[in-house]
């Protein structure tokens, strides 16, 4: 089933344009030199020296609305419900959990729902303080959560002027007779000079204090320039994430410890704080903890995610999904219509995983989530494509027209609008985020969907 070259290429141009429009910024980036990538497995950290650390600071951030990996293939990292086991590895009385912001990617309705879910997750996990970016502050203000007096965690931001949000948060941790103050401050490098950050930290005993600076607004600024002006009182600098994995940007043993937390909740940064036996500054050690799929799930967060799925369903986001018209009056006809002439291909396709794609989402309750459904149906991004299973049952699953294009013209004039080679748009859905095992195994994946006679 397919289209002639002219109409099909027009369709594909529209498809690629729509895909480009839907790409959202996934975090800030700043140039850095001599990047040191931490290599630590989850098992390494969860078996960490019988927890001899005096204090452990856990950092998350740049979740960007990724509440849970899609689960379409194995080996995926992330998921709010898996964080508890990592947090519980820290000392009970000397643990602090900090989120560095960038909760969601936009102000779309689904992202707003995710924002509320994340605030509830922070409460359930016992977060101490959450930093909000400028976009986070705007979203939180619109939702009214900044004035929530029952919120059990602190909220800070360098962009919260006029909203009642402070720039700083302090918590004192008492461990084996020692009291350690952890000061967390948000700082916008574009709005003020970095050397002014010293004024944001309270005076205290440096040997019993950890000063953490969450840096934002550093686009276009060189890392070394910022670090050279950094006040000596700063112990940790959390830099905006520009990759999915955390990165240590400072030299081993250097002060301050500069790192990113990664994106999409796939890793948690663990900073161990140890009181030296002799007088001197507290010792800091960074570890990257992957949020692996084998970690146990926290039932409270599992229930929270189910509530999120129900909210998405009740909000009818699938029906509201923005769609554009197909060019040249084309429409999708559905795979069953193709079977009138391509019976062999249709029958064989019917036995393949693509033919049961929507049912996979039903099993996990995501069949009304547009972020998931778009890769499991035909043409959801178009006005003539899939809407819901009730309204467009003939367009469910990854059918013929996903690869061959809308079939109306070919069905009406098979000889004039001849079938063309299928357009291999696999990477539209088999992305590293959704299908981490695809890259490098394309031939193996292709064998799973072969439904034609010729090689």
* Structure confidence at residue 20 (pLDDT): 32
3-state SS assignment for residue 238: strand
DSSP characters over 248-269: E-SPTT-SSEEEE--STT-EEE
pLDDT surpassing 50 at residue 19: no
Per-residue pLDDT band for 178 (boundaries 50, 70, 90) equals confident
DSSP characters over 395-443: GBSS-HHHHH---HHHHH-TTTS---PPP--GGGTS-TTT-TTTTT-HH
pLDDT per position as a tens digit, 221-254: 667 777 787 888 899 999 988 899 999 988 888 8
pLDDT per position as a tens digit, 100-122: 999 999 999 999 999 999 999 99
3-class DSSP string for 158-222:
CCCCCCCCECEEEEEEEECCEEEEEEEEEEECCCCCHHHHHHHCCCCCHHHEEEEEEEECCCCCC
* Closest to 259 (Cα-Cα) out of 285, 232, 225, 298: 285
* Structure confidence at residue 121 (pLDDT): 97
* Structure confidence at residue 318 (pLDDT): 96
Q: Which residue has the higher pLDDT, 1 or 72?
A: 72
Structure tokens at 344: 């062999």
Q: Where in the chain is the domain with CATH 1.10.1130.10?
A: 328-447
Per-residue pLDDT band for 45 (boundaries 50, 70, 90) equals very low
* Closest to 85 (Cα-Cα) out of 248, 212, 270: 270
The CA dihedral of 153, 90, 302, 124, to the nearest 10 degrees, is -20
* Structure confidence at residue 428 (pLDDT): 85
pLDDT surpassing 80 at residue 150: no
Q: Where in the chain is the domain with CATH 3.60.21.10?
A: 29-305
Per-residue pLDDT band for 25 (boundaries 50, 70, 90) equals very low
Count of beta carbons in the 10 Å neighbourhood of residue 379: 24
CATH code for 328-447? 1.10.1130.10
CATH code for 29-305? 3.60.21.10
């Amino acid at each position: 089933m397919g289209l002639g070259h002219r109409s099909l290429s027009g369709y594909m141009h529209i498809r690629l344009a729509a895909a480009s429009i839907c790409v959202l910024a996934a975090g800030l980036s700043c140039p850095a030199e001599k990047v040191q990538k931490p290599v630590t497995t989850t098992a390494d950290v969860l078996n960490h020296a019988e927890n001899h650390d005096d204090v452990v600071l856990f950092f998350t951030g740049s979740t960007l609305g990724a509440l849970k990996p899609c689960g379409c293939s194995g080996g995926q990292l992330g998921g709010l419900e898996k964080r508890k086991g990592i947090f519980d590895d820290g000392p009970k009385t000397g643990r602090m959990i900090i989120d560095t912001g960038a909760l969601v990617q936009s102000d779309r309705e689904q992202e707003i729902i995710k924002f509320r879910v994340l605030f509830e997750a922070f409460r359930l996990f016992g977060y101490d303080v959450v930093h909000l970016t400028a976009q986070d502050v705007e979203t939180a203000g619109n939702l009214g959560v900044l004035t929530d007096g029952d919120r059990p965690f602190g909220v800070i931001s360098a962009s919260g002027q006029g909203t009642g949000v402070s720039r700083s948060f302090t918590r004192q941790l008492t461990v084996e007779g020692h009291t350690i103050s952890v000061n967390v401050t948000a700082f916008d490098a574009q709005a003020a000079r970095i050397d002014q950050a010293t004024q944001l930290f309270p005076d205290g005993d440096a040997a019993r204090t950890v000063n953490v600076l969450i840096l934002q607004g550093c686009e276009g600024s060189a890392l070394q320039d910022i670090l050279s002006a950094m006040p000596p009182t700063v112990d940790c600098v959390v830099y905006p994430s520009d990759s999915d994995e955390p990165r240590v940007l400072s030299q081993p043993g250097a002060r301050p410890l500069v790192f990113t937390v990664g994106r999409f909740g796939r890793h948690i940064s663990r900073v161990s704080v140890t009181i030296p036996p002799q007088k001197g500054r507290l010792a800091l050690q960074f570890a990257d903890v992957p949020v692996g799929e084998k970690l146990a799930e926290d039932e409270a967060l599992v229930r929270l995610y189910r509530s999120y799925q129900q909210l998405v369903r009740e909000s009818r986001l699938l029906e509201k999904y923005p769609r554009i018209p197909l060019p040249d009056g084309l429409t999708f006809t559905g795979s069953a219509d193709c079977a009138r002439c391509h019976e062999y291909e249709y029958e064989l396709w019917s036995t393949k995983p693509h033919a049961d794609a929507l049912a996979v989402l039903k099993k996990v309750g995501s069949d009304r989530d547009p972020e998931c459904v778009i890769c499991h149906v035909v043409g959801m991004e178009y006005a003539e494509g899939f809407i819901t299973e009730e309204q467009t049952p003939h367009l469910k699953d990854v059918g013929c027209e996903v690869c061959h294009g809308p079939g109306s013209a070919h069905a009406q004039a098979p000889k004039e609008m001849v079938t063309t080679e299928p357009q291999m748009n696999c990477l539209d859905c088999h992305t590293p985020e959704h299908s981490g095992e695809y890259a490098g195994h394309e031939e193996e994946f292709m064998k799973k969907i072969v439904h034609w006679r010729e090689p």
